[in-house]
A and B are shown apart, each in its own frame.
Chain A
């Protein structure tokens, strides 16, 4: 299951396009950055409402496959620029993190 597959199946909008062929191997929900960084696994699809520049850094360093902003959470302009620079895929949905996680769990 690639990021591109996740976009189609979860009907996500693409805010920043990174490597859409990246394999997604799991999922993680959380908004506290250190908590996420200590526990998310490489290849996870990260569901969060945190759309700031630090979230992009956490995604890069924890090596998550992509960020999905739940409930149409905003992506800061700084964060968008950083994501483009570091080729981090940032996606968005109107659904909440719980519903997205359920759907993700069904297709992974």
Chain B
């Protein structure tokens, strides 16, 4: 199998469409024959990152590269950026407003879950300019 590339535009503040990209990637990975645990890791991390685009960044783009060895995911936004990444990585820390919390989000588990379910995670962020997140899940 050569590499497969997927691109998704994620609209901001539309919770009825949130998760469409993750659901689509899950189907693709299953169709390609990736193992259950690898698929689960990749899509949980991707969903958390996708939700962050919707809640915090006013939307963004997702680019996926799937090879037999690795699922690479790059999420780009032009939102407010993350002022303190170390703080944002702490379990339970959240800046989600009350209307978002009422939907069941804002547990402060988004970034910790992404770290937990990926093999590599890198965040480039600049306040006022946006954030790019690089994620990898290896096909072990």
Contact = CB atoms under 8 A, between A and B. Distances in A.
Interface string A44-80: 0000001011110110111100000000000000100
Contacts of B47: 37, 57-58, 61
Contacts of A34: 48, 51, 105, 107-110, 113
A32 B104 contact: yes
Contacts of B44: 37-38, 61-62
A108 interface: no
Contacts of A78: 16
Nearest to A81: B16
A19 interface: no
B22 interface: yes
Category for how many chain A residues contact B: 20 to 34
A57 B104 contact: no
A25 interface: no
A42 interface: yes
Contacts of A57: 18-19, 22-23, 47
Contacts of A62: 40, 44
Interface residues of B, number: 26
Nearest to B40: A63
B112 A54 contact: no
B108 to A, nearest CB: 8
A95 interface: no
A55 B51 CA distance: 12
B105 A33 contact: yes
A57 to B, nearest CB: 3
B7 interface: no
Among A31, A32, A37, A42: residue with most chain B CB under 10 A: A37
B107 A32 contact: yes
Given A42-B40, A54-B103, 19 more contacts: A32-B104, A32-B109, A33-B103, A34-B51, A34-B105, A34-B108, A35-B107, A37-B109, A37-B113, A38-B117, A42-B36, A52-B104, A53-B15, A53-B18, A54-B105, A57-B47, A60-B19, A61-B44, A62-B44
Interface of B: 15-16, 18-19, 22-23, 26, 36, 40, 43-44, 47-48, 51, 103-110, 112-113, 116-117
